[in-house]
């Protein structure tokens, strides 16, 4: 059958181009890339690191790195995320991490063949990252200012942005952007920021509360002020993960 049946070093089979031998070529390297988003001051931000080496020295890039020999891509992503953001391993282990897709263009890295598995993470507003070792800087960058990244990271970032926008429609993911306890106003801000639209507050409220398991009210009287105005009730993320029916963004509905 297929080439999978013939690992490098074993006999050829005729389903493989004549003369193909994995050891005759440079090995593939496998990396992970992370598009980590947060909402800050009503703008979507992404975590970027500055490259300290060629190629793309001095350019900004998505954090990421090589898989260790006995590590899955998701473990590698969590490890890199912890390293780059200064999060504890525990916090990183609990984070919502989602595989975006894999980028495998043969020329995506000018030096060698690198296949990269991209992940998306959504985090609440975190302290400024402490940059990895090796003279690297890391920082939160408004998405609007994140352009001309190294490698194909502009593409990955665009894919990630579009994916999370879509995900907000039919999952409860938006709560991942919020701290453990949050107000419905903050949750609405997440949607408005990611989608770049304004939503009707009364309707948003009803929609969220009508979806069982989306949010759960925090007991007692605890309320929090967002500055001025009436203090808002606090909620925590609920147990549901999917939104049925979905919460479609306004643009997604205007044909008919």
Partner DNA sequence: TCAAAAGTGTTATGAGTACACCCATGC
Partner DNA sequence: GCATGGGTGTACTCATAACACTTTTGA
Q: Which of DNA, its own copies, none does residue 82 bind to, with CB < 5 to 8 Å depending on kind?
A: none
Does residue 163 belong to the site contacting its own copies (CB under 8 A)?
no
Question: Contact, 227 vs 201, CB < 8 A?
Answer: no
2 binds DNA (CB under 7 A): no
Report the DSSP beta bridge partners of residue 121. Answer: 36, 97
Quote the least distance from Cβ 98 to DNA, whole Å: 23
69 φ/ψ sector (left φ>0, alpha ψ -120 to 50, else beta): alpha
Which structure tokens are listed for 77? 């992503």
Residue 30 partner contact from DNA, its own copies, none using kind-dependent CB cut-offs of 5 to 8 Å: its own copies
Going by C-alpha positions, the residue among 105, 147, 135, 124 that lies closest to residue 237 is: 124
Q: Are 220 and 236 a contacting pair, CB within 8 Å?
A: no
163 makes contact, choosing from its own copies, DNA, none, with CB < 5 to 8 Å by partner type, with none
**CA 36 to chain CA mean position, Å:** 4
Give CA 31 to chain center in angstroms. Answer: 15
Return the range that interacts with its own copies (CB under 8 A); candidates 122-130, 184-192, 214-222, 243-251.
243-251
x/- track of binding to its own copies for residues 99-138 (CB under 8 A): x-xx-xxx--x-xxxxx-x--------------xxx-x--
Binders of its own copies among residues 211 to 230 (CB under 8 A) are 212
Query: Which stretches of the chain bind DNA, using CB under 7 A?
Result: 183-185, 200-203, 205-207, 210, 223, 225-233, 245-248, 250, 253, 256
């Amino acid at each position: 059958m297929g080439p999978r049946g013939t690992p490098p070093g074993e006999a050829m089979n005729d389903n493989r181009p004549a003369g193909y031998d994995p050891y005759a070529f440079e090995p593939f390297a496998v990396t992970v890339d992370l598009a980590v988003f947060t909402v800050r001051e009503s703008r979507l931000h992404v975590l970027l690191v500055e490259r300290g080496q060629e190629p793309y020295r001095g350019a900004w890039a998505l954090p990421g790195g090589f898989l260790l020999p006995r590590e899955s891509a998701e473990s590698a992503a969590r490890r890199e995320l912890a390293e780059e953001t200064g999060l504890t391993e525990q916090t990183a282990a609990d984070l919502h991490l989602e595989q975006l897709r894999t980028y495998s263009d043969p020329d995506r890295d000018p030096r060698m063949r690198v296949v990269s598995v991209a992940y998306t993470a959504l985090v609440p507003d975190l302290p400024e990252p402490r940059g990895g070792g090796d003279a690297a800087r890391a920082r939160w960058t408004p998405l609007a200012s994140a352009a001309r990244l190294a490698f194909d990271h502009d593409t990955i970032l665009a894919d990630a942005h579009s994916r999370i926008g879509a995900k907000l429609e039919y999952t409860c993911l938006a709560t991942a952007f919020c701290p453990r306890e949050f107000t419905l106003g903050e949750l609405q801000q997440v949607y408005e920021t990611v989608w770049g639209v304004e939503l009707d507050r009364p309707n948003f409220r009803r929609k969220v509360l009508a979806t069982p398991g989306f949010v759960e009210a925090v007991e007692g009287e605890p309320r929090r002020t967002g500055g001025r105005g009436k203090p808002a009730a606090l909620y925590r993320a609920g147990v549901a993960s999917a939104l049925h029916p979905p919460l479609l963004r306004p643009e997604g509905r205007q044909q008919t």
